[in-house]
């Protein structure tokens, strides 16, 4: 066992003394040491229940003959960090989480790890750490929040963000917005739509790193506690069989996960994170692969913000296993991939049909014959941009309009709420990329304001920043190269025509090349927006969004 390096032999007497200071006895020291990687805190709604999950995991580990030892990571709530400087730190927390897990697991010689994440950057950060360390590992998330209800209609946090725009447009009374505020988030858990947190928890299950149900069992259900106990027991089986993340997160597993991503309509952030996780796993994927898989994968689900269903509905309809089963009818899933169940995908999905075709459509009756995400390329996005196609109105699949240019999110939000944006406009928000932000802010405020003001079928938005999974409309993010690196988005001027053709995967600036050469000669690289601390170092190390915003090697 790896932990023997810290507990066996004459020279390890001081080490054993320190373990005994924890209250451990020799019997516990003779067993494998299992690190319980918990992101519990008191500020993130998806994480306030993770102490209960951790207790259940520890019980499972002990029942199966291991000794659990818990440590913690940081975690940012993207909703609370939204539209102020805090959001600049969210994506950067992903790398810090991965690094901190590497340090703790290596310094303390754990034999295996159970990861307990829930929200946006914590899940991919932990998956990156699991791939990097390659110790036997399993994930069990805290689970999704239940949807709220107002006047018999289900709602989620996205309606509150959109309500701000609706109220600003004079189409909603402040009292009505207050009712949304009070009812949108009724329980603990990751926000109830197919936003980034739930996207990543579902993709963890799809990759094979979480037990069936990991992505969809609601946070407040006792079944979630039972799942955590099973995860604690299963890590001991993974250790016994020496099944590691490198055995699970294979090229075929990533392809399976991308098929699911397209079928279920995950957040655009899932692209950023899958690229980064694959990099740590030594698996070669790129944006073109996403388009290739999307072209042959039908979109079977439209959860909030793309539709009226929520995570609890997906759970009741059969969850990820039912979706895999449906995709497998057309041979889209590699069923031989091994998973943390110690069984194959094929064994896991056997006898798991769709239970509600209004939530998960059959593969013969999809919402669309292609996937929920699209990667756009063109002179404005040579390295690519990403749009949640399943949440775009039919009227906006093709759009050409004048650029309304803003060098920060704040400038754009002020213009939107002041009704300075009109039908046909293409809002351009730049210098918000991984380096330029720094941190590639998630911008739900401007996109939800556009939707709330009723302009989502008339106005497009493009940015080198990124969006919340709660974003809907023709919102194109991750435009690369970013403005701070001299990408063409830095040269766009007010009134320039921009053409968006989502079915053709195109994003183009309609300006003569000679004029762009002149503009390029005048352009100057901007100073860093944050000049001290972690985000300064982050800006100096981070690469393009097209790489997953990973650090330079």
Could you count the other beta carbons within 10 Å of the beta carbon of residue 18? 12
Angstrom distance (rounded) from CA 275 to CA 254: 10
Angstrom distance (rounded) from CA 359 to CA 391: 16
Residues 6 or more apart in contact with residue 350 via CB below 8 angstroms:
none
Task: Give the residue from 223, 76, 75 showing the smallest Cα distance to 140.
Answer: 223
Say which residue the tokens 């998960």 belong to.
Answer: 360
Say which residue the tokens 């740590």 belong to.
Answer: 280
Say which residue the tokens 């106990």 belong to.
Answer: 229
Q: Which helix (H) or strand (E) holds 139?
A: strand 137-139
Of 267, 304, 390, 468, which is the active-site residue? 468
Task: Give the residue from 205, 390, 204 showing the smallest Cα distance to 300.
Answer: 390
Ranges assigned E (strand) in 22-97: 33-38, 67-72
Angstrom distance (rounded) from CA 149 to CA 218: 16
Any idea how long the chain is?
553
Are 116 and 57 within 8 A, CB to CB? yes
Are 380 and 489 within 8 A, CB to CB? yes
448 in catalytic set: no
Is the Cα torsion angle 217, 189, 468, 126 positive or negative in sign? negative
Give the three-class secondary structure for 542.
Answer: strand
At residue 314, φ and ψ (nearest 5 deg) are -65, -40
| Angle, vertex CA 260, rays to CA 254 and CA 262, nearest 5 | 105
**Catalytic residue numbers, as ranges:** 468
């Amino acid at each position: 066992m790896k932990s023997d390096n810290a507990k066996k032999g004459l020279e390890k007497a001081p080490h054993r003394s320190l373990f005994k200071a924890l209250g451990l006895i020799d019997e516990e020291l003779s067993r494998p040491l299992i690190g319980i990687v918990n992101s519990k805190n008191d500020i993130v709604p998806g994480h306030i229940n993770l102490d209960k999950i951790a207790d259940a995991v520890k019980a499972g580990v002990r029942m199966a003959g291991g000794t659990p030892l818990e440590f913690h990571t940081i975690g940012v709530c993207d909703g609370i960090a939204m539209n102020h400087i805090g959001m600049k730190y969210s994506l950067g927390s992903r790398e810090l989480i991965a690094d901190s897990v590497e340090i703790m697991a290596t310094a303390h010689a754990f034999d295996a790890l159970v990861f307990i994440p829930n929200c946006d950057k914590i899940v991919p950060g932990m998956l990156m750490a699991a791939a990097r360390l390659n110790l036997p590992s399993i994930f069990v998330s805290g689970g999704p929040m239940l949807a709220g209800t107002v006047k018999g209609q289900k709602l989620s946090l996205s309606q509150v963000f959109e309500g701000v725009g609706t109220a600003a447009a004079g189409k909603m009374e402040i009292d009505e917005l207050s009712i949304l505020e009070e009812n949108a988030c009724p329980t603990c858990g990751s926000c109830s739509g197919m936003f980034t947190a739930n996207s990543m928890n579902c993709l963890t299950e799809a990759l094979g790193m979480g037990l069936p149900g990991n992505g969809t069992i609601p946070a407040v259900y006792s079944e979630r506690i039972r799942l955590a106990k099973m995860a604690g027991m299963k890590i001991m089986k993974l250790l016994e069989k020496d099944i590691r993340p490198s055995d699970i997160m294979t090229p075929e597993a990533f392809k399976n996960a991308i098929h699911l991503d397209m079928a279920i309509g995950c957040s655009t952030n899932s692209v950023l994170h899958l690229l980064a996780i694959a990099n740590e796993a030594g698996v070669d994927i790129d944006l073109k692969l996403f388009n290739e898989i999307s072209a042959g994968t039908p979109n079977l689900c439209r959860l909030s913000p793309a539709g009226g269903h929520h995570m609890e509905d997906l759970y009741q309809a059969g969850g990820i296993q039912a979706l895999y089963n449906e995709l497998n009818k057309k041979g889209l899933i590699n069923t031989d991939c091994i998973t943390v169940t110690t069984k194959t995908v094929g064994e896991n999905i056997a006898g798991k049909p769709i239970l509600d075709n209004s939530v998960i459509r059959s593969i013969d009756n999809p919402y669309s014959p292609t996937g929920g995400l699209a990667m756009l390329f063109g002179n404005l996005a040579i390295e690519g941009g990403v749009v949640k196609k399943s949440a775009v109105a039919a009227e906006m699949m093709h759009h050409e309009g004048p650029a309304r240019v803003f060098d920060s999110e704040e400038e754009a939000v002020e213009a939107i709420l002041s009704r300075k944006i009109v039908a046909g406009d293409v809002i351009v928000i730049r210098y918000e990329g991984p380096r330029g932000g720094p941190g590639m802010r998630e911008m739900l405020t401007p996109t939800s304001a556009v939707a709330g003001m009723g302009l989502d079928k008339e106005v497009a938005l493009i940015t080198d920043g990124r969006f919340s999974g709660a974003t809907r409309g023709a919102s194109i993010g991750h435009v690369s190269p970013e403005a701070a690196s001299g990408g063409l988005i830095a040269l766009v001027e007010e009134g320039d025509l921009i053409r968006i053709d989502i079915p053709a995967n195109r994003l183009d600036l309609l300006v003569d090349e000679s004029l762009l050469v002149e503009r390029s000669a005048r352009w100057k690289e901007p100073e860093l927006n944050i000049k001290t601390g972690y985000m300064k170092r982050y800006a100096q190390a981070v690469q393009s969004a097209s790489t997953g915003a990973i650090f330079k090697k």
